[in-house]
């Protein structure tokens, strides 16, 4: 019998990785994913982190398995080629081009937006290689207010969207997110969404926590309520356990014969 789950997509921080737990990724989850990989399934870490940050955290976790694919900064795709993680050139090149063209149009307006944030909130605004506007708010209440203003700003640029995780936010191109990257991997592996598992805990995971992209949806107990609501509405699994233990429970649930 073929595996009911052939592509496992997990967010990293707060979903499988708990910074202050020891170990940060539970052995039960590692064993489950490792067994599925041995039977032909593929695992992708679908995260907002960049390469160096993720590699450092994975090294600290000291797990015995490695993901087959990475989705980094919610949009770039990398495949392990047996030695290193190599970019999927066609996808990443198009992604970079579309972001560059969009951000060139957005850039002249970013200054006034930054001034408004600085005048009204104790927040940090900066630019990085992935966005001309990045935010670290002082708390979630302030982040909610700023997020609402950012959504209004995006109405002026139909291709622009806000990617938010806790007090962190940045601009991105609406075409590229955790969901569309997962769909691209599903297509490349010649799978269907019925063979895909997706687990996440926060707002930036919502684009992949859709039945459009994955039949098996999971959020751990520490997931925020808006994510739990979306997953519950799609008959997904809400674990009673947090972080990686919750993802392990969700994997076991979806692997059971229906």
Preceding omega of 23 cis (within 30 degrees of 0): yes
Render pLDDT for 181-191 as a digit per residue (tens, 0 to 9).
999 999 999 99
What residues are paired with 86 via a beta bridge? Answer: 79
Query: Does 144 fall in a domain?
Result: yes
Q: Give the Cβ contact number of residue 252 at 10 Å.
A: 13
- The pLDDT-based confidence of 257 (bands split at 50, 70, 90) is confident
Q: Tell whether 102 and 220 lie within a shared domain.
A: no
pLDDT for 258 beyond 80: no
In a domain, residue 32? The reply is: yes
User: Cα 142 from chain centroid?
Assistant: 22
pLDDT at 1: 47
Q: Express each pLDDT in 213-234 by its tens digit.
A: 999 999 999 999 999 999 999 9
Residue 220 domain-assigned (yes or no): yes
Tell me whether residue 152 is in a domain. Answer: yes
Cα–Cα distance, 76 to 72 (Å, whole number):
5
Structure tokens at 88: 């999927």
The CATH number of the domain holding residue 227 is 3.40.50.1000
Domain that holds residue 233: 7-74+177-255
Total-model pTM: 0.95
Q: In this structure, are 186 and 167 located in the same domain?
A: no
CB 196 within 8 A of CB 5: yes
Mean pLDDT of all residues belonging to the chain? 96
């Amino acid at each position: 019998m073929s595996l009911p789950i052939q592509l496992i997509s997990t967010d990293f921080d707060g979903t499988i990785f708990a910074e202050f737990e020891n170990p940060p990724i539970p052995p039960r989850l590692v064993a489950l994913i490792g067994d599925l990989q041995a039977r032909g399934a593929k695992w992708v870490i679908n995260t907002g982190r960049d390469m160096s940050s993720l590699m450092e955290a994975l090294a600290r976790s000291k797990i015995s398995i490695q993901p087959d694919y990475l989705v980094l900064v919610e949009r770039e795709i990398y495949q392990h080629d047996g030695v290193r993680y190599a970019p999927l050139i066609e996808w990443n090149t198009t992604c970079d081009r579309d972001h560059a063209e969009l951000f060139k149009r957005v850039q002249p307006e970013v200054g006034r937006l930054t001034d408004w944030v600085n005048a009204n909130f104790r927040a940090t605004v900066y630019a990085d290689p992935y966005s001309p506007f990045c935010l670290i708010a002082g708390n979630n209440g302030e982040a909610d207010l700023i997020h609402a203003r950012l959504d209004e700003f995006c109405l002026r640029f139909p291709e622009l969207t806000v990617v938010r995780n806790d007090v962190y936010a940045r601009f991105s191109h609406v075409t590229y997110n955790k969901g569309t990257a997962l769909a691209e991997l599903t297509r490349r592996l010649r799978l269907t969404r019925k063979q895909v598992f997706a687990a996440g805990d926060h707002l930036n995971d919502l684009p992949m926590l859709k039945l459009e992209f994955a039949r098996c949806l999971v959020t751990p107990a520490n997931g925020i309520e808006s994510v739990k609501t979306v997953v519950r509405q799609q008959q997904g699994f809400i674990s009673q356990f947090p972080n990686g233990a919750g993802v392990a429970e969700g994997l076991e649930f979806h692997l059971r014969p229906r």
